[in-house]
Structure 1
C-alpha cells in the first residue's frame, strides 16, 4: 500500500528527511525537473517530497530519489518510519470504532437524543438495519477501499430516507482494519474541508454528510472539489473512501448543464460526481418491508412500532427519523399548540377518523388550557393574529422525514353506494388536519387512562359530522360514564345516518323494556343496510319464554327480505330452525345461505349430514368449506383422515390449515401420534410461532434432562407473548 499523508506541520524526523534530500540535490547539481526525469516520478510528487508541511513521501518515492541522489535508502526509510509515527498521532479524525453515529448526524430513532460528545444510551440505540439496493453499491465501494483503491460515493435521496445511516453501516466493515473517519465540521464545514483535505491520511473515511455545505459554498466550493479530486486520483495518498449525501434538488443543481451564456458554477462538481452517485428510494420495497418485519418479529421494537405506524406506504425510515423530534416538539410546544395536539390525540385514540376538522380542534382545546393560559391567550394578539393561527402555524412546521405534528390534509372523495341515502350535510366544512402517526401512538399509551374534558365532548357534538366518528365517541363517552354526552352524541350520529348508532339504540330500548321502540329502530337500521340489531333482537326473542320462536322468525325473515346481507341472515334463520328441532327447514335455509357464499352454512350442513350418518355427504360439504379457506373444516377432514389411517393425507390437510394461519390442526394431530411423530408435528407448528407447541417440546426436553434446550424453547415461547412460559423459565 502506498501510504502518503500530511500532518499540517513537519515532525523532527520529517524535517531531517527533507534536509537530507535538499542537501543531496545541491551536491548533485540538479534541479527538481532533472530529478523528476531521472527518477521517473511526477513533478508534483518530487516537489512535494521537498516541500515543508507537504505530504509524507511514500516508500516508493524515497527509494527512487535515493537511487538518483546517491543516498542510503535504508536511512531515508528509517527516518520516514519515525516521521510516520509522529504524523499518525496528528492524523485527522478518529478511529471509526470511537465514533457515535449520532455525532455523525445519523438521526436517533428512540425517544431521546444523545448529547454531542456522549455515547448513545440504550434508549438511543439504532433499530436493526435493513439492507436495500443502494447498500450493494456502498458495499462495492468499501471492498475497493479495503483492496487499496480510493473511492467516492454520494447517496442522493429525500430527507430522512436512510442515507446517513446507510453510510454508517457501510464503514463498519473498515473499523476492524483500523480505518479512521474524519468529519470536516469546525469552524464551518467548508472551511474545515478546505484547510485540511491535504492532511487526509490513507485509510481514512472522509464524511461529507449534507455535501451541499461543501460543494455549494460560493467562495470555496470549487476549491474543495479540486482538493477531493486530487485526493482520489493521487495513488500515493490512498486508499481513502469519500462518502457524502445530497438531497435530489442539490444533486440536480450540481449535475445539470448550464444554460447557454450562463456561468458554469459547478463544472468541477459535475465532473467529480459523474459516476459517483447512487439514488436512495423514499420507501421500502416489498423485500425490504419483509426483512424489516422479520427483524421486528425477532424483537426489534423500534422497527415493529415504525412498521405499525407507516403501514404499507413503506416510509419506514422517515418514521424512524422523525419520531424523537415530533415528541420533543410536543413536549416543548407553547400552551396553545400543546392543547390542540392533546385534543387531536384524544380524538384519534377515542376513534375519530384521520381527518380532523380544525374548527373541532380549536373548540375542543379550550379546557386543555389552564385558566391562566386561557386568560393570557384571550388577551394577547401579535401582529394581528390570534392564538389559534399561531398555534396551527407552529404545529405545521416539519421535522425530519417531512413530518409535521399536525399537517393540513384533504380527504378523498367518498364514493358511496347509490342504494344508500345521500346525506349532503354529513361532511365538515373548513380546513382538515391530520395528526402525525407517532404522536397518535404516543397519545394512545401516555393518555390511556385520561378522560377528555367537557370542551372536547361539546366540540364533537357541535363540529363533527361523520356518523362513524360520532358513534365511536358515543361509545367511548358511555364507557367513561359521560352518559349525557353519550346520549346526545349517539342521537347526533343517527341524524347523520349511523346504522351502528341505530342498532345500539335499539338494544338500549330493548334493555329498557321498550320492545316496540327497539323493533322500530332495528328496522330503520335494516333500511339503511344493517341487519345487526335485528339479528340481536331475534336471538333475544328466541330465548324469551314469552315471545318465543315465532317472534324471532318474524324478525329474521324481515331481515332476509329487506337486508343487504342475505347470506348471514339466512344462516341465522336456519340456526333458529335447527335450535327448535326443524332439521329439514334448517337444512333448506343453510343450503340457500351456502349458495350465497356463507362458509359457516357449509360447516353446519356438514354437521347435519354427520348427525344423520351421511359421512360421505358431510365430507363433501367440509371439502367445499375447506376449498374456501375454512380451517375448521380442514381440522375435521384431517382428523377423519388420521382415524382412517391416512397419516400423509392428514398431514397434508394440516399443512393447508397452517398455510392459512392456523397451527391448531398440526397440534391436534400431534396429540394422536407417538412421541417421534408428535415431535415432528410440534416442531412444524413451533416454527410457525405456535407457543403451545414450543412449550410441549420444552417439557419433553426437561424430561430428557436437556435443561438448556428446554430454556431455549420456553424463551422462544415467552418472546412470542406466552406468559405461562415465563414461569417455566423461573
Structure 2
C-alpha cells in the first residue's frame, strides 16, 4: 500500500515517449513497472461530500481526523492531513531569524482571525503588526528585505498542498488578488487554541486601525479591544466604525463602560454616540444622568432620544419616578412618550396605578392612552367603567374603540352583561360588535346560549351571525345538537 499525489502518480506511470531527447535511462522504469501492476488504485477526491463528513464525524475516535475535519476549508481534509501538522510544527519552531519574521506575520493573522477579522488580510496590516510579535533583538537584526522574505516564507507550500498564508481568489475573473492573504484553516484552529488568552500587542491594534475596512469589522475589533481593557484602541476603532456607517459603535462602548462602573468614560462615549446620530447614545446618557441625580439632565437627554425615535429612556425614567413616588413626574414622562408616538407608556402607568387601587387615575390614564392611538387600553377601560357602575360610559368607550378599529370591546362588554344576567343587553352589544366587523361575536354568544339550553335564542343569533360573515355559526349549532343526539 502506498499514497501519492495525483501529479506524482501521473509522472511515475506515464511512459517516456520514443525518441525522447533526454540522455540516459528511463529514471522511473522500475516505479512504473511496479505501479502499473497495482490491483486497485483509489483516487481520493479533492474535497469530500457532506455524507462522508457526517460519517467521519460519527467515528469520533481518531483525534487527528477530528482536528482535520473541523479545521479544513471547503471539506479538503486530505490536504489538512498532509500538511496541517507540518504547518503547525514550522510555526512553533520558528523562533530565530529569519524564520521568526514569518512567524510574526502568522501570529498577527491568527490574532486577527480569532478576534473576528473575516475579510482577507492586507499585506500592509501584517507588516505593521509584526513588530509587536518580535523581541528587540529580532527587530534589530531585521534587514531591509525582511518583510518580502518573511511573506514569501509564510506563503511557501508545505507538502505542495498548503501554505500558512494562502492566496485569495479574485472576486471575478482568474488569478489571485494582489496584496492580501488568508490564514490556513489548520493554523486558524491552532491559533485559537494556543493563543486563546493572549492579548494582541499594541502594534496589532494600530495596524488594525490603519488597514481594517468595513463598519462591522471595525466595531467588532473595537469591542474586542474594550473587552481587554484597551480603552484608547477601542475608542479609536469605534470612531472609525462610526465614520464607516456604524453609528452604534460608541453606544456599545458606553454600555460596556457603564457595566464596568466607569460612568465618566461611559458618558463620554454616549456623547460621541449621540453626536454621531445614534439615539441610543442619548438614552444611555439619560440613564447615567438619572443615576447621578441630575433628573433634569436625564429628562433632557431622554427627550432627545425620543425625538430621534428611541423612547426607551422616557419609559425607564417614568417607571423610576413612579416607584420613587413622583407621580406627577411619571405622568409627565408618559405624556412625552405618547407625544413621541409611544402611547404604551401611558397604558403601563395606568396599569401600575390600577394595581395600587387608584382606579380614578387608572381610568384617566387609560383614556389618555386610547386617545393617543393605543388600542389596547380600551378593554381595560371598558371593564373598569362597567365595574364602577358606569354602564353608559362603558358603552360609549366601546363605541369609541370600535371606531378606532377595536370592535372586540363590544364583545367584552357583551360577556360582562351576559354574566350579570342581562341577556337583552348582551345580545344588543353582540349585534353592535358584529356591525363593527367582529364577525365571531354573535356566534360565540349563540354557542353559550345553546350550551345553557336557550335553543331559540341561539338560533336567533346564528342567522345574523352568518349574515355578518360567520357562515360556520348555523353549522356549529347543528353539530352540537348532533353530538347530544338531537335532530
**What is the root-mean-square deviation in Å for CA atoms of aligned residues?**
4.4
Partner of 1:512: 267
1:496 aligned onto 2:269? no
Matched ranges for 1:147-158 at <5 A: none
Match of 2:278, SS state, is: helix
Deviations 1:640-697 (A, max 9, x none): xxxxxxxxxxxxxxxxxxxxxxxxxxxxxxxxxxxxxxxxxxxxxxxxxxxxxxxxxx
Partner of 1:529: none
2-side partners of 1:574 and 1:323: how far apart?
A: 61
Match of 1:245, SS state, is: coil
1-side partners of 2:70 and 2:209: how far apart?
A: 31
2:192 is aligned, of 444, 451, 454, to: 444
Partner of 2:464: none
Higher relative contact order (CA 8 A, sep 6+): 1
Match of 2:2, SS state, is: strand
1:402 aligned onto 2:161? yes
1-side partners of 2:200 and 2:77: how far apart?
A: 31
2:93 is aligned, of 308, 311, 332, to: 332
Contact 2:125–2:208 (8 Å) recurs in 1: yes
Partner of 2:45: 281
2-side partners of 1:330 and 1:551: how far apart?
A: 62
Partner of 2:180: 432
Deviations 1:509-551 (A, max 9, x none): 99529689638622699xxxxxxx9999533332112674455
Match of 1:278, SS state, is: coil
2-side partners of 1:577 and 1:285: how far apart?
A: 58
Match of 2:167, SS state, is: strand
Partner of 2:315: 542
Contact 2:199–2:228 (8 Å) recurs in 1: yes
1:390 is aligned, of 140, 149, 165, to: 149
- After TM superposition, give the deviation of residue 553 of structure 1 in Å: 6.1
The 1:410–1:259 alpha-carbon spacing in structure 2 relative to 1, beyond 3 Å, is same
Deviations 1:50-95 (A, max 9, x none): xxxxxxxxxxxxxxxxxxxxxxxxxxxxxxxxxxxxxxxxxxxxxx
- After TM superposition, give the deviation of residue 273 of structure 1 in Å: 4.6
TM superposition score normalised by structure 1: 0.36
The 1:244–1:373 alpha-carbon spacing in structure 2 relative to 1, beyond 3 Å, is closer
The 1:498–1:300 alpha-carbon spacing in structure 2 relative to 1, beyond 3 Å, is farther
Q: Which runs of 5+ in 1 are unaligned?
A: 1-242, 414-428, 526-532, 558-572, 589-607, 613-730
The 1:492–1:433 alpha-carbon spacing in structure 2 relative to 1, beyond 3 Å, is same
Matched ranges for 1:16-27 at <5 A: none
TM superposition score normalised by structure 2: 0.52
Relative to structure 2, which stretch is displaced further, 574-583 or 353-362? 574-583
Contact 2:72–2:186 (8 Å) recurs in 1: no
Match of 1:279, SS state, is: coil
Match of 1:433, SS state, is: strand
The 1:550–1:358 alpha-carbon spacing in structure 2 relative to 1, beyond 3 Å, is farther
Matched ranges for 1:56-135 at <5 A: none
1:342 is aligned, of 107, 116, 123, to: 107
Contact 2:338–2:344 (8 Å) recurs in 1: no
- After TM superposition, give the deviation of residue 466 of structure 1 in Å: 2.5
Matched ranges for 1:568-607 at <5 A: 579=348, 585=374
Contact 1:255–1:273 (8 Å) recurs in 2: no
1-side partners of 2:71 and 2:339: how far apart?
A: 46
2-side partners of 1:284 and 1:575: how far apart?
A: 55
The 1:331–1:254 alpha-carbon spacing in structure 2 relative to 1, beyond 3 Å, is closer
Q: How many residues align?
A: 303
1:306 is aligned, of 62, 68, 73, to: 68
- After TM superposition, give the deviation of residue 585 of structure 1 in Å: 4.1
- After TM superposition, give the deviation of residue 348 of structure 1 in Å: 1.6
Contact 2:125–2:211 (8 Å) recurs in 1: yes
1:522 aligned onto 2:264? no
The 1:434–1:280 alpha-carbon spacing in structure 2 relative to 1, beyond 3 Å, is same
The 1:576–1:373 alpha-carbon spacing in structure 2 relative to 1, beyond 3 Å, is same
